[in-house]
Amino acid sequence: MRRRLFIASSVSALAGCGPISAALNGNDGVRRALASAEALNHALIGTHGLAREYGERDVDRHFRINGFATPSDAHYADLLASKFARYRLIVDGAVERPAAFSLSRLDGLARQTQITRHDCVEGWSAIGKWSGVPLRVVLDEVRPRDYARYVVFRCMDNDGAGTLYYESLDLHQARHPQALLALRLNDAPLDADHGAPVRLRVPTQLGYKSAKWIARIEVVGSLARVGGGQGGYWEDQGYEWYAGI
């Protein structure tokens, strides 16, 4: 455990949500230490635990905005102008029944509310009241095939150089009872800066897993050919994939 804490603090010293430091890129020893710490974390902690849920009075009314800039391209502007009436969440890949969900259809599937804390790897946290549809309910609608292993979230924003943000969970994490496709924050429809119209909330994992501005959810058998192969935009830069907290 002590080793894990030591490694965790050395990671945060090296990296934030900003560009990863050259030290991490250039240091194979650090990379190997991170990889073994990750496997250990996953094995020790697993994904059975529940994140703490808070009360209404714990909610931070100002929820910090972080990450890449809100999309400003014509497609996103058009979606925003229609109040997302023209938005469809594509869910496809290794599934029996691929689907394109309108917001109202998503909203009608099931509704869950959680007051949980978001923990960013940069060292700040905020408690929000999130509501939306549990991810497992959406997965049940599309029915992952036998060889399905991971759920990839394709986002509408990019890093400024054109690489789109993406994230992934394995099917077990994706079916966690608190893994939520959030449509609302603090009793209001999700605003553009916090990831409208649909973002992920996984309170058992670090903030960068909670993908904003989701356009498509793709179920896959392997992450090898997705992005840089490490399961997420920041993972491709050396961040831990599991990122449990």
The site map against ligand MTE for 114-133 (x = CB under 6 A) is ------x-------------
Q: ω into residue 71 within 30 of 0, thus cis?
A: no
Q: 152 and 221 in contact (C-beta within 8 Å)?
A: no
Tell me if 126 contacts Mo ion by CB under 5 A.
Answer: no
Which of 23, 65, 85, 100 forms a contact with ligand MTE (CB under 6 A)? 65
Which of ligand MTE, Mo ion, none has residue 132 at its interface (CB below 5 to 8 Å by kind)? none
| 116 contacts: CB under 8 Å, gap ≥ 6 | 51, 52, 53, 54, 127, 128, 130, 178, 201, 203
Please identify, among the stretches 10-18, 27-35, 79-87, 209-217, the one whose residues bind Mo ion according to the rule CB under 5 A.
Answer: 10-18
In the complex, least distance from residue 124 CB atom to ligand MTE, rounded to whole angstroms:
8
Residue 30 is inside which H or E element, if any?
helix 28-45
Tell me if 17 contacts ligand MTE by CB under 6 A.
Answer: yes
Please identify, among the stretches 93-101, 154-162, 182-190, 206-214, the one whose residues bind Mo ion according to the rule CB under 5 A.
Answer: 206-214
Cα–Cα distance, 172 to 166 (Å, whole number) = 18
Tell me if 157 contacts ligand MTE by CB under 6 A.
Answer: yes
Tell me if 132 contacts Mo ion by CB under 5 A.
Answer: no
Which of 14, 120, 126, 192 forms a contact with Mo ion (CB under 5 A)? 120
Tell me if 64 contacts ligand MTE by CB under 6 A.
Answer: yes
In the complex, least distance from residue 75 CB atom to Mo ion, rounded to whole angstroms:
25
Tell me if 67 contacts ligand MTE by CB under 6 A.
Answer: yes
Residue carrying the six token digits 């905005």? 65
Separation of CA 176 from chain center:
13
Tell me if 17 contacts Mo ion by CB under 5 A.
Answer: yes
Query: Which pairs from 169-175 meet CB under 8 Å and 24+ separation?
Result: 169/135, 169/202, 169/205, 169/209, 171/139, 171/144, 172/47, 173/47, 173/202, 173/204, 173/205, 174/135, 174/136, 174/139, 175/135, 175/136, 175/139
The site map against ligand MTE for 171-200 (x = CB under 6 A) is -----------------------xx-----
Strand order in the sheet with 164-170: 99-101, 89-93, 214-220, 150-158, 164-170
Tell me if 207 contacts ligand MTE by CB under 6 A.
Answer: yes
DSSP state of 7: H
Site for Mo ion in 68-87 (CB under 5 A): none
Q: 173 and 47 in contact (C-beta within 8 Å)?
A: yes
Which positions touch Mo ion (CB under 5 A)? 17, 120, 207-208
Which positions touch ligand MTE (CB under 6 A)? 17, 63-68, 120, 155, 157, 165, 194-195, 207-208, 210-213
